[in-house]
Amino acid sequence: MKTLSLLAILAASTVAVPAFAQDRDTSQDFDGPYISIGGGGTLQGNDRGETILFDTNRDGTYGDQVTTLGGANAFSTGFCNGAATSTANVGCRNDKDGPEFFGRIGYDKRIGNFVYGVVLEGGRSVARDSVTAFSTTPARYTISREADYNASIRARAGYTPGGGALFYLTGGTAYARLDNKFSTSNTANSFTNNGKTNGWGYTAGGGAEILVTKNISVGLEYLYTDIKDNDFVVNVGPGTAPPTNPFLLNGGGTNFNRSDPHFRTHSVRGTLGFRF
């Protein structure tokens, strides 16, 4: 509700173009350096069809079947796109949406009614992306990730019809420091992983910015971000499990990771900027 209220206020500001713009020279609007802060909401899709992939002989190739001593598929119970609500395959919670906040610096160059620029941005979102595998034991195995922080450098191109308003498209390179977590109800095997990883990708979107004074602006913006990271791996060891354990039958251990390396988010945010 707080996010919706903020966006409603900003939307009202963009509709009511300030009267002061009619009484001054606006030919130099959106030309030069600026800084801004902002916040909003991050939506994380459910990544339908995502699973966990296994490498039972640790040769670096994922997609092996984990087989029981009797030759059955140990994960025939299935997978779900989220964090498990129980040990058995009875459903999962949806991936977590959440608030985000950020700061940015940028520079615009105005040529006639067209504006071109570059933006450097950094911030954080609490959106979380999870996937779960269910074994026939039964046991659950959940991998989750969220960004400790993210950053992007983007180009920006827009059009200003005058009156202190700018409408633009933006896109560029994105980076995230990902906090990966693993949990399981299996207490027999041992599990290790490589923790935090670095992801790279792209971000693109568009928005509108309105000058409410000569130097202060507010805006609304949408961004789609796709970060790719396939470096997180869980290593399964013997622990106290017997040699007949499905994870141990083919070489004494198994590695696994998620089938979809892409962390995709949709962001709707408001901005508050100062232009020098």
Contact 180, 197 (CB under 8 A): yes
Q: Which domains does the chain have, with CATH numbers?
A: 2-275 (2.40.160.20)
Highest mean pLDDT: which of 20-29, 43-52, 161-170? 161-170
pLDDT at 87: 75
pLDDT at 46: 65
Q: Which amino acid is at 32?
A: G
Stretch 25-33: mean pLDDT: 86
Q: Which tens digit of pLDDT belongs to each residue from 240-262? A: 999 999 999 987 899 999 999 99
Q: Which two structure tokens, joined as six digits, stand for 253?
A: 């251990």
Say if residue 243 is preceded by a cis peptide, omega within 30 of 0.
no
- Residue 23, classed as helix, strand or coil, is helix
CA 26 – CA 115 distance, rounded (Å): 13
CA 246 – CA 269 distance, rounded (Å): 47
- Residue 149, classed as helix, strand or coil, is strand
Residue 4 has pLDDT above 60, yes or no: no
Residue found by looking up tokens 């609304």 in the block: 220
Residue 85 has pLDDT above 90, yes or no: no
Q: Which tens digit of pLDDT belongs to each residue from 36-67? A: 999 999 998 766 789 999 999 999 999 999 99
Residue found by looking up tokens 């004074």 in the block: 213
Nearest to 46 by CA among 267, 268, 260: 260
Q: Strand pairing of 165-184 and 197-211?
A: antiparallel
Q: pLDDT band for 133, please (50, 70, 90 cuts).
A: very high
Among 24-33, 35-44, 132-141, 153-162, which is the least confidently predicted range? 24-33
Q: pLDDT band for 5, please (50, 70, 90 cuts).
A: very low
Q: Which tens digit of pLDDT belongs to each residue from 194-230? A: 999 999 999 999 999 999 999 999 999 999 999 999 8
- Give strand pairing partners of 178: 147, 197
Contact 56, 251 (CB under 8 A): yes
Residue 22 has pLDDT above 60, yes or no: no
CA 231 – CA 227 distance, rounded (Å): 12
Contact 154, 121 (CB under 8 A): yes
Stretch 18-39: mean pLDDT: 78
Q: pLDDT band for 27, please (50, 70, 90 cuts).
A: confident
Residue found by looking up tokens 């609500």 in the block: 85
CA 256 – CA 130 distance, rounded (Å): 14
Q: Which two structure tokens, joined as six digits, stand for 138?
A: 């039964």
Q: Which two structure tokens, joined as six digits, stand for 109?
A: 């160059």
Residue 21 has pLDDT above 70, yes or no: no
Dihedral of CA 165/169/174/178: which sign?
positive
Q: Which tens digit of pLDDT belongs to each residue from 172-192? A: 999 999 999 999 999 999 999
More confident residue, 139 or 45: 139
Q: pLDDT band for 94, please (50, 70, 90 cuts).
A: confident
Contact 257, 232 (CB under 8 A): yes
- Cβ density class 167-184: b for 16+ within 10 Å, e for less: ebebbbebbbebebbbeb
More confident residue, 78 or 25: 78
Residue 2 has pLDDT above 50, yes or no: no
HSE-CB for 190 with a 13 A CA cutoff: 7
Dihedral angle over CA of 72, 74, 76, 82, nearest 10: -170
Q: Strand pairing of 262-275 and 52-55?
A: unpaired
Residue 32 has pLDDT above 80, yes or no: yes
